[in-house]
Amino acid sequence: MQHAWYRQFWRFLQSREAVGVILVAGASAIAMGVIPNLLQKWWDSAWFYGLVFFGMLLVVVLGWALVRERGVGVVLSLYPSPQANRVSDLTEASRKNHSSTLVIDDELLRPGGRELSLDARMDLLAKLVDARVEEIKTSGADGSVTLYPLAHLYEGFHLGRRLARDTYSSLSVMHLSSTDQQTVVPGLTLGNHLRDPLTPDQEALLTAHLKQAPGTGGPTLVANPGCPAEYQHRLAFIVRLSFAPSMTADATGVAETGRVRRPSDATHTGYVFTSDNHEANGNPCGAHAVLEAASARLPETKDAEVFEAVANYTYRCCIAAKQAWAEQSGSTNVDVQLFINAPLPITIAVGWLMKNDHVTVIRHESSLLNAAAPTGAPPAAPAGQLP
C-alpha cells in the first residue's frame, strides 16, 4: 500500500541522501551569497567572509559525500535457524553505508524448499549478488560490494572460493564484533594484495598476535608415525584464531586417528565427515601443522590491517606446509584437510586465496561438541590407533 506523500517525505528527510541534499543546497546558497559581500569587503576586512565561504565549501563537499553512490551492501544469513537480531544489526549497518542493500537468507537459497548442494548454493548466491551489482552499475553507480555475512565457517570458505571467480571493483567483508555480537566492524578487503609479500609492519603484527609468527619459523610440520601408508599423502592444517579452548587438541586428535570422538572419554569433538551421519569416522592424516593466535582471539581494529595480514600469512603457511610435506612424504598429490576456527572474514579470505588449491574443509558442528557417545556404541580406540 502506498504511504501518504507527507509520510514518504518524512522518511526521505530521515535518510542519508536527504541530509546530503540539504547540506549541499544550504551551504551552496550561503557560499554563493557570501561572494558579493566578499568583493565589497575586499578592501575592508575580507577574512571573516573568506572563512565563511571556505567553510561552506567544505560543507558542500560533506553533503556530496553523503549523497554519492556507495556501492552494494550484501547481508548474508546462511544459518537455517532464525538470527533475527543479528540480521537486523547487519542490515541497518548496510543501509547506513551503502546505496543499495541486498538481503540473502537461507530460505532464498533453497528454491521451492529444495535442498541444494553447498557448491550450488554458493553459485546461486554469487549470481544474485552479480545481478544486483549489474543493476546498480547500469545507472552509473559504484559497483563495489561489501559483505555482511552470517554463516558457518565451512560455508564461508566455499563462499570465498566462489566469489574469487568474479570480478568486482571492490569486495570487502564486515563482521559482527566478537565482544558484543551487535557492533559491525571492518573485516578485510579481498584482492590480490593479500598475496603480496609480507611487509615489516605486517610481520610485526603477526609476531604480536600469533604463536607461530614468521620470526619463530612458522608452523612446525609434525609427522604421524601411526598413519597407514595409503593415507600418508594427507596433511591436516589446523588454524585456531578464535576463542576455542579445546580446538587444537581436538583437531590434532581427529587428524591423527580419523575418529570424531575423543579417545579419553568418547565425547564428541564436533567434527563431522558427512552431513548425514555425525558418527561416521574419516581417515587419518600423515602429518599436521598448527597455526594459533597468541591470545584467546585476534584484536578487532578500525581498519583491516590485522585480519589482512593474518589471512595472507595463513595462506602462505598452508601452501608452505603442503610443499614441505610433499617433499618429505614423496607424494605428488598432497590432500590438505583444513581444520579452521577463525573470524569469518579471515575464513572467507582464505577460501578466496585458495580458489585453485585442492583443500577440504572439515566441518565442525558446535551442537555436537562434548556430546556423550550413544548408548551401546563401541569404545573409542586409543589415540594413534585405527578401529
Res 386 pLDDT > 90: no
Q: Give the burial class of 148: count Cβ atoms within 10 A of its Cβ; 0-12 exposed, 13-18 middle, 19 or more buried.
A: buried
pLDDT digits (tens, 9 = 90+) for 273-312: 998 899 999 999 999 999 999 998 898 887 899 999 999 9
Res 236 pLDDT > 50: yes
pLDDT digits (tens, 9 = 90+) for 1-55: 334 545 555 655 566 666 666 666 666 656 566 556 655 565 555 566 566 666 6
pLDDT at 1: 38
- Phi then psi for residue 364, to 5 deg, are -130, 125
Rg of the chain (C-alpha set) = 26
The CA distances from residue 28 to 14, 35, 56, 63, in Å, are 21, 11, 7, 10
What pLDDT band is residue 329 in, cutting at 50, 70 and 90? very high
As a residue count, the chain comes to 387
Q: What angle do CA 336, 288, 334 make, to 5 degrees?
A: 30
Please give the full DSSP string across 354-384, using - where no structure is assigned.
TTTS-EEEPEE-GGGTTPPPPTTPPPPPPTT
pLDDT digits (tens, 9 = 90+) for 352-362: 999 999 999 99
Nine cell digits for residue 99: 546505496
- Phi then psi for residue 335, to 5 deg, are -100, 110
H helical segments located in the chain: 5-13, 16-40, 47-67, 84-97, 118-137, 153-163, 200-209, 247-257, 305-329, 344-353
Parallel, antiparallel, or unpaired for β 184-190 and 171-176? antiparallel
Nine cell digits for residue 1: 500500500
Res 67 pLDDT > 60: no
Res 385 pLDDT > 50: no
Res 241 pLDDT > 90: yes
HSE (side-chain half, CA atoms, 13 Å) at 356: 1
Q: Give dist(CA 323, CA 331) in Å, integer.
A: 10
- Quick one: DSSP state of residue 315? H
> Bigger pLDDT: 133 or 178?
133
pLDDT digits (tens, 9 = 90+) for 108-118: 998 888 889 99
Quote the mean pLDDT of the chain.
Answer: 85
CB of 233 within 8 A of CB of 286?
A: yes
H helical segments located in 168-304: 200-209, 247-257
pLDDT mean over 60-67: 54
Res 235 pLDDT > 90: yes
CB of 145 within 8 A of CB of 71?
A: yes
Alpha-carbon torsion angle 375, 379, 380, 381, nearest 10: -160
pLDDT at 387: 31
CB of 335 within 8 A of CB of 359?
A: no
Res 251 pLDDT > 70: yes
pLDDT at 225: 94
- 176 three-class SS: strand
pLDDT at 32: 61
> Bigger pLDDT: 375 or 122?
122
Q: Give dist(CA 166, CA 273) in Å, integer.
A: 29
